[in-house]
Amino acid sequence: MEETSSKDILAVSVHTEKSKMRGKPTFTEHKGTLLRMFSFLKTIYLFPCNDIPTMIIPVTCLGTCAALSVQGTFTTPDMEGLWWWEILCRVPKTFLWVWANVLLFSISNQRSEDAMIEDAINKPWRPLPAGRISPSQARRLLLAEIPVVVGVCYLYLGATLETIVCLLLTWMYNDLGGADEHFLVRNGVNSAAYFVYGCGAMRVASNLSLDDALQAGVVEWLGIVSAVILSTMHVQDLKDQEGDRARARSTAPLALGDTMARWTIAGGVLAWSIVAPVYWFSPVPVPASRCGYALLAAIIPCLLAVLVSFRVLSWRDPQSDTISYKYWSMWLMSLFALPLLPLAI
C-alpha cells in the first residue's frame, strides 16, 4: 500500500510539474483564484451591507410605491398606461440602481483615516478596519467603480443624471467634510441625497423620462420625504456617539445633548405620521366602504412612530439604539407606502 501511494503522489507531482511547464493553471491555482474572487465579492458586500435595511430597501420601496401610484405621485399620461406588473418586474433594476449608488457612497465614506478611526470603534467588521482592504486599494476601487456604475446606468438601468448628482453629493459629504460639519449641514446633505435617490429610484421603477417624472406631485412628495429625513435622520447617530466623539463630529446627540436629540426624533416621527397621511388623504374623498382601509393605512405609521419614540426615549445603550434605528427604517417604509392609498380607495 505504501509503495502504491508513493507512486500516486509521484504521478500527481509529475502531472503538476507538466501543467506548470505547459502554462496551464493547476487545481491549487484555480482554488486560489476562486477564493480571491469570493473574498473580493465579500468585501464589496461589506461596504454597503449596513445600509441595506436602512437605506437601500427603503429607497427601493419609495421608488416602487410611488411608481405604482397612478393617481397619487405620478399623474402623467405615460404613467397611466403602465401595468402594475411592469413596475414590479423592475424592482430588481430599482434595487440594483440604489445599491450601486450606495456602494459608491460607502466606499468614499469609509476610506478616510477619520472614518477608519470611527469604524474601528463602532463597526470594526467593515473592510478597512478589518484589514480586508487598504485605503489606497479602496481609492483605486472607487476610481474604477465610478465609470462602471455611470456606464451601467447610462446603458441599462437609467437615471444617469441622478447618479451624477449623487456623486456630487457624495463628494460634498465625504471629501468636503459635510459629514463633519454642524448636524444641520449633515442632515441637510442627507435630505438632499434622499430627494435625488428617491427621484432616481422612481425613474428606474417607472421608466419615465426626467421631464415626465418631475411633475408637481413628485416634487411635493419628495420634498416631504426630504423634510422627514432632515428632522429625524439623526436617529442614526444615537448608536455611534462614542466613535463620533473620537472623530470630533458635530452630530445632533453631541451638539444638542443626548436627551434633547432623542426628544426631537420622537417629536418628529410622531408629527410626520400625521402630516404624511393627511397629505395623501386630503385630495381624495374616502368612500364609507373604504374607510377601514384608509384608517389602517394611517394607523400603521402612527403605531410604528409610537414604538420608535418609546424606544429612543426609554433605552439609551448602543445596542438598543441600533434596533431603534431599524424600527425607524420600518416606520420610514410605512410612510413610503402611503402613495398607494389612492389605489386602495
Q: Distance between CA atoms of 61 and 99, rounded to whole angstroms?
A: 13
CA angle 210, 214, 220 (to 5 degrees): 155
Residue 182's pLDDT is: 82
Residue 13 has pLDDT above 70, yes or no: no
Residue 71's pLDDT is: 44
Length of the chain: 345
User: What would the grid cell of residue 103 be?
Assistant: 456602494
Q: In the chain, where are the structural domains located?
A: 53-340
**Mean predicted lDDT score pLDDT of the chain:** 83
pTM: 0.83
Between residues 79 and 96, the one the model is more confident about? 96
Residue 270's pLDDT is: 95
* Band of pLDDT at residue 176, cut at 50, 70 and 90: confident
Contact status, residue 300 vs residue 334, Cβ threshold 8 Å: yes
Residue 232 has pLDDT above 50, yes or no: yes
CA angle 209, 214, 220 (to 5 degrees): 155
Distance of CA 118 to the CA centre of its chain: 20
- The distance in angstroms from the start CA to the end CA of the chain is 80
Residue 157's pLDDT is: 92
Residue 187's pLDDT is: 86
122-146 confidence digits (pLDDT tens): 889 999 998 899 999 999 999 999 9
Please name the amino acid found at residue 74.
F
Residue 242's pLDDT is: 84
* Band of pLDDT at residue 290, cut at 50, 70 and 90: low
30-45 confidence digits (pLDDT tens): 667 788 888 889 999 9
What percent of the chain has a predicted confidence (pLDDT) above 90? 46
Mean of pLDDT values over 296-313: 91
Mean of pLDDT values over 268-275: 94
Q: How many CB atoms lie within 10 A of CB 125?
A: 11
Best mean pLDDT range from 32-46, 108-122, 128-142, 245-259: 128-142
Return the minimum-mean-pLDDT range out of 183-192, 203-212, 306-315.
203-212
* Band of pLDDT at residue 150, cut at 50, 70 and 90: very high
DSSP string covering 23-66: TPPPHHHHHHHHHHHHHHHHHHHHTTGGGIIIIIHHHHHHHHHH
Return the minimum-mean-pLDDT range out of 113-127, 149-163, 211-225, 249-263.
211-225
